[in-house]
Structure 1
Amino acid sequence: MSIEISNESGIEVPERTLVDVADFALAAMDVHPGAELSMALVDTETMAELHMRWMDLPGPTDVMSFPMDELTPGGRPDAPDPGPAMLGDIVICPEFAATQAATAGHPVEHELVVLTVHGVLHLLGFDHAEPDEEKEMFGLQGRIIERWYDHLRAQGQAQRQQARDASLLNTIGFTSDEPGATSER
């Protein structure tokens, strides 16, 4: 996946985390690995302008998605490989997200993760205008986020185990001069 991120919000955000969770969500939705996605982080004034221009709604919002190519997650089994495509743009307002996070009582980083996955799902054609659509989209969003956090925990466990192993090998006289190679001192 090619994911570009541009932070024009004036607020420091964990950009690497947002790219990683977007990549994770796209992979979970079986989007072609050559797909391209653009993410922009904007201030409340810019988001309010976009919200009015594209949704005819006043004031800023948390996230907006602008799809480019028509894609179906996983594609049809009888269709040829769809190949890479430009998915579109996700625009997030970190300041608005911070307010929502405070109201919900969770970290801003989590709110940004939720908004990123939400934006990805909108790019893939999911919506929440009707109750059944909302149930499907928010259920899927919750499952992807849960799997994302499971993935992070597993990575952390693997890194801690690797550090313990290296420490143990070092104390018993083995060193590692290059990845995968051990030798006795």
Structure 2
Amino acid sequence: MSIEVLNESSVEVELEEFVDCAEYVFKRMHLSDAVELAVSFVDPEPMEKLHLQWLDLPGPTDVMSFPMDELRPGTQTSPVAEGTLGDIVICPQVAAEQALAAGHAQIEEMLLLEVHGILHLLGYDHAEPEDEKVMFGLQRRLLLEYLASRES
């Protein structure tokens, strides 16, 4: 499994936690060890530039996903063999604001954003209410299972 996590932000980030979480999601979504992913943490200014460049929206956002090989989830009997899933960019400062508003820890918000980003890279979306229900339900289940697994 090739999961690269880089911190280019001014906020301290526990990089290994994000590798572990991505590995957990890869296993649950039946992606092989040959699938590649890059996760980067950036400050608000570079995130705002990406947000403007790719979505033509002002201001920094929490997470952006950039798919590469358009991989989709595998199954237990037919896992995704190989490929580059893509890149996820997370802004810790925006995540901190959202965590405060939601009443949970910043690390939990950033892990949620990582799971959210991976699901986008796997083709999930939340533009329509039914799609949102599916994606957010899966996102919640994966995050809660991951958090429970690290406590045992």
TM over 0.5: yes
Aligned residues of 2:125 and 2:132 also touching (Cα < 8 A): yes
Are 1:15 and 2:15 matched, yes or no?
yes
Cα deviations by residue, 1:30-63 (Å, 9 ceiling, x for unpaired):
1122111001110101001100111111101000
Aligned to 1:92: 90
Matched, 1:45 2:76: no
**SS, match of residue 109 in structure 2:** helix
Matched, 1:32 2:9: no
* C-alpha separation in 2, matches of 1:148 and 1:122: 18
* Cα deviation code 1:108-144 (max 9, x no counterpart): 1111110010011011010101101100000000110
Judged with a 3 Å threshold, the aligned counterparts in structure 2 of structure 1 residues 71 and 93 are, in CA distance, closer, same or farther, namely same
Gap regions ≥5 residues in structure 1: 155-185
What letter corresponds to residue 54 of structure 2 in structure 1? W
**Highest RCO, 1 vs 2 (Cα 8 Å, sep ≥ 6):** 2
Identity %: 52
Matches within 5 A, 1:18-167: 18-74=18-74, 82-154=80-152
Alignment gaps of 5+ in structure 2: none
- What TM-score do you get using the length of structure 2 for normalisation? 0.94
Q: Which has the larger radius of gyration?
A: 1
Structure in which a larger fraction of residues adopt strand: 2
Write the distance in 1 (CA, Å) between the matches of 2:2 and 2:17.
Answer: 15
RMSD, aligned α-carbons = 1.6
Runs of 4+ in 1 over 2 A off after TM superposition: none
CA-CA distance at 1:70 after TM superposition? 1.7
**Distance in 1 between the 2:80 and 2:25 partners?**
18
User: If the length of structure 1 is used for normalisation, what is the TM-score?
Assistant: 0.78
How many residue pairs align between the two structures?
152
Residues of 2 paired with 1:57 and 1:74: CA distance? 33
What amino acid is the match of 1:47? M
Paired with 2:150 and 2:112, the residues of 1 have a C-alpha distance of 15
